[in-house]
Amino acid sequence: MVASSSNSYLTTNNEVVNINKNKEFKLRKINQNGQIQIYQSSYRGSYSSIIRDSLRNAALGRKVLLVQLMKGGVKQGISNAQKLCGNLTWIRSSNSYDQYESENINNNISKSINNSIIELWDYCKKELLYGEYDQIILDEVFLAVEMNIISKDDLISTLENRFISGDVILTGTSIPKKFLLMADQITELRS
């Protein structure tokens, strides 16, 4: 479309915007990924503000995916994802566990729990690379990386090659420097 400063005419040339009679600028469409936001806290379970914001975004019409990788207890899994506000998809592990100390998780983690988290991660990767969500929240993804359930290189590669134009929110306690350098926004939550 061509627009002039007088806005008296429009044409269908998508490459040119006429700012005034003497100057024309070629515009090109830029496919831009959304921001990578990191929320860091010294303790687990401190991200209620993120859940609140995701509910608000869903109520305003944005498609939101909230995946709590290290939370269990409700036997949800991908096949039993919960829909809230019509636009928020909330998924937790398909296993029934909920430990708040990483040492306890390390001591009690079983192959089925590990497989459940990997299943969630594979779903998240697919959505990051090909999905249509406006916002994807990966709650406690860095704990899964710290425990070597999710490969750090796999997470980095997925974030670098993501397709979605929306925001990706990552939460955790111990965040590797490489991820902090990738982030557009870093928020430290204090008690």
**Predicted confidence (pLDDT) per residue in 12-57, tens digit:** 555 544 555 555 555 544 456 689 999 998 766 666 888 888 999 9
Q: What is the mean pLDDT of residues 97-102?
A: 54
157 vs 74, which has greater pLDDT?
Answer: 157
Q: Where in the chain is the domain with CATH 3.40.50.300?
A: 32-189
Classified as helix, coil or strand, 16 is strand
Q: What is the mean pLDDT of residues 105-113?
A: 64
Q: Give all strands of the β-sheet with 185-189 in edge-to-edge order.
A: 82-84, 88-92, 64-68, 135-139, 167-172, 36-41, 185-189
Q: How confident is the model at residue 160 (pLDDT cuts 50, 70, 90)?
A: very high
pLDDT at 25: 52
Q: Give percent of the chain above pLDDT 70.
A: 69
CATH class of 32-189: alpha beta
143 vs 4, which has greater pLDDT?
Answer: 143
E strand map for 61-109: 64-68, 82-84, 88-92
Lowest mean pLDDT among 12-16, 31-35, 64-68, 131-135: 12-16
- Tell me how far apart the alpha carbons of residues 85 and 64 are, in angstroms, rounded to a whole number: 10
Inter-residue contact 173 to 143 (CB < 8 Å):
yes
| HSE-up of residue 148 (Cα within 13 Å, Cβ side) | 2
Residues 6+ apart with CB under 8 A from 107: none
48 vs 102, which has greater pLDDT?
Answer: 48
pTM of the model: 0.74
